[in-house]
Structure 1
Amino acid sequence: MTFWHWAASNIRPYSDDIALAMVATGLVIFGDHLNDMLRLLVKRQPLWLRLLAFIALCAVGYGALSVWLTPMLEGLLRRLPDWQLLALIISSFVAVALLAQKQKRV
């Protein structure tokens, strides 16, 4: 048994949790950009409409993205060969760390 097979077989049962972590982390990192775009779209609207738009984005939009993207990403993770699974998981979390560090500096 190779290292790749051993590591992937230990990680695969947690594909659903890993997919959710990836989606949630992406939403946290890019959520400010989505909020800013919505703010630009509704800035001249009445207060009640701006409030409804942000409630819809935060409560419905982010929730729907989590619910829809997580199973899609989990399916992808389960279909990948061992070495690709490990490479994707490692590289995605490194990319998230780099993005988070970059945003912290700004």
Structure 2
Amino acid sequence: MVELLASLTRALAPYFSEMSLMLVATLLVVFGDLINGYVKHILSPCHFILRVSLFVLLCAFGYGAMTLYGAPLVLHIIKFFPGYLQGLIFVSAFLAIGVFAERRRYI
């Protein structure tokens, strides 16, 4: 079993940087509406121009920064796990996000 997991990790290892970027982007897509709703709620008492400006900053720079700095952080966290489990953790993370997103859609 360990050898099977190790072969999965070896097959995916060249793509870990891209996969961590994909994981962060997927999380932002799934939770983006919640983030936007929270920011909208916080900014609701502010003037229209300030609300629009801050929302544009959040979308342009906030999500960009979360993606840019979140992907290396995800990769760094996954590298803490034993080598033979790293591929399985990536695959499991994508499956978990997919299941969560599908269930959240119906709530």
Q: Normalising by the residue count of structure 2, what TM-score does the alignment of the two structures yield?
A: 0.88
CA drift of 1:32 comes to 0.7
Alignment of 1:20-99 (within 5 A): 20-99=21-100
Structure 2 unaligned regions, length at least 5:
none
User: In the alignment, is the contact (CA less than 8 A) between 2:6 and 2:85 conserved in 1?
Assistant: no
1:19-63 CA distance string (max 9 Å, x none): 001000000111111101111111121110110111111101100
Q: Distance in 2 between matches of 1:103 and 1:66?
A: 22
Q: Distance in 2 between matches of 1:78 and 1:20?
A: 15
Aligned residues: 106
> Does 5-14 or 82-91 show the bigger shift?
82-91
Structure 1 unaligned regions, length at least 5:
none
User: In the alignment, is the contact (CA less than 8 A) between 1:5 and 1:82 conserved in 2?
Assistant: yes
Q: Give the equivalent residue in structure 2 for 1:3.
A: 4
> Does 24-33 or 88-97 show the bigger shift?
88-97
Describe the SS at the equivalent of 2:45: coil
Corresponding letter in the other structure for 2:83: D
User: In the alignment, is the contact (CA less than 8 A) between 1:8 and 1:82 conserved in 2?
Assistant: yes
Describe the SS at the equivalent of 2:65: helix
User: In the alignment, is the contact (CA less than 8 A) between 1:12 and 1:78 conserved in 2?
Assistant: no
Q: Distance in 1 between matches of 2:17 and 2:83?
A: 16
Describe the SS at the equivalent of 2:89: helix
CA root-mean-square deviation: 1.7
